[in-house]
Amino acid sequence: MGKPSVLLIQPPIHDFALYDLYLKPYGLLKIGNWLERGGWKVDFVNALDYRDVQTTAALGSVKRKSNGTGKFHRTELPFPLKDTGRRRRFARYGILPEVFRRKLQESKPDIILITSGMTYWYRGLIEAVETVQKIHPDIPIAVGGIYATLLPVHCRKSTGADFVVAGDAEPALRRILNEQGLPVPSAGIEGPLLLEDVWHDAGIIRINTGCPYRCDYCASPVICSSFIPGEAERAFSSLQEMHRRAGTVNFAFYDDALLVNKERVFIPFIEKVIQSGLDLNFYLPNAVHLQFLDREVSKLMVRAGFREIRLGFESSSSDFHSRHDDKYSEEDFPAAVRNLKEAGFDSGSITVYILAGLPRQDYREVESSIRYAAEFGVKVSLAEYSPVPGTPLWRESVEISSLPLEEEPLYHNNTFFSMEWDGFTLENLDYLKQLALSFNRKLGEKQQ
């Protein structure tokens, strides 16, 4: 009897727009590594592979940056909704469907595991499940990831998968494998499967799991109910191995709370990076909590090779923070920016996120926050609110929105601006976008 075989699938994505800001199937490949170490044969099909030769021959190459970010192949799809005037182009992102099918046919799995991302990406997941069911009709399919966790009932109904794994994958997968009469690895889930074609352009690091804060607009506590500090030595060993085997020099952090407990985890990790002498680049697709950016951490980040800093400021309004997140004091933002600049970060490498479009939020509050942040000579980015199932703001969002958020996850996409009201219209949003753009343009001109 040969090895048991698993097929891991990163599905294509159906969306209005998509940019690869270090979008990797990190969790799925951790499961793949767990199974491989447990004696399994692991096949992986990446429907977002922008290097696929056949797809590139048909659609042309896509623009990519040296830091590992860029575009995916794109094929336009019919607009999926008929009951809204807010039409935008809708597209399928990923390798060609016929290439996807061919890659799936090359595997002979005993079980199929498919990851999911945003709730409004679910149509790409449906495509993946339906395609694999035709090719491997008798093989059990398990779907996990963010969408499966936030909307397990909708996921089960929409995809028809045999199993929907919500939350922590390991206990559920142990149970599923046991029920299917398949071998269960004895070890626990650790780092990701090291596939050179996945990690060569950019690697992923996750030091801590979850977040101790309970911001009412954020899904982190829903996806991971508790904050689990990581281990500096283990994280550094994973980085070293990825660098050695895949030649990775660009690394992005997936942490939701990277700097929490920094004395025990982040600082020892960064010191190990510096001591190693490795010439690496670090990026923060997720914003960090700015109150932890003291002088020491800021200097260590510069020395280690951080190329950008993203700050989750959200608002300059103290009332906003008392209502939604209770994270910052009045002096935290000025102090963080000052420490970063004194450490050596230039203005163009510091981006401040301002939240816009929360339920009953007035656009003038957002305008004040943009103007306030811009005074400190940093880039300002509007983070448009997306209603997230399971968060404290979800029920209020459902009640006041004119869109059927509970029935159609596509409406969770911020392209629909589901919280529009008299105090914050689409015209107001366009004005705020142009305002932030004008400040960023002036900042860029000063740096030239």
Residue 2 pLDDT: 79
Give the residue carrying structure tokens 């007035």. Answer: 362
pLDDT of residue 361: 97
Alpha helix segments (H runs only) across 106-184: 122-135, 146-150, 152-159, 169-179
Q: Is 226 left (phi over 0), alpha (psi -120 to 50) or beta?
A: beta
- Listed as ranges, residues in the chain with pLDDT below 70 are 1, 83-87, 448
Note the pLDDT of residue 104: 98
pLDDT of amino acid 246: 94
pTM: 0.95
Closest to 300 measured CA to CA, from 230, 382, 232, 199: 232
Question: Domains plus CATH for the chain?
Answer: 5-179 (3.40.50.280), 202-447 (3.20.20.70)
Closest CA to 267 of 224, 225, 297, 290: 297
Q: What is the pLDDT of residue 83?
A: 59
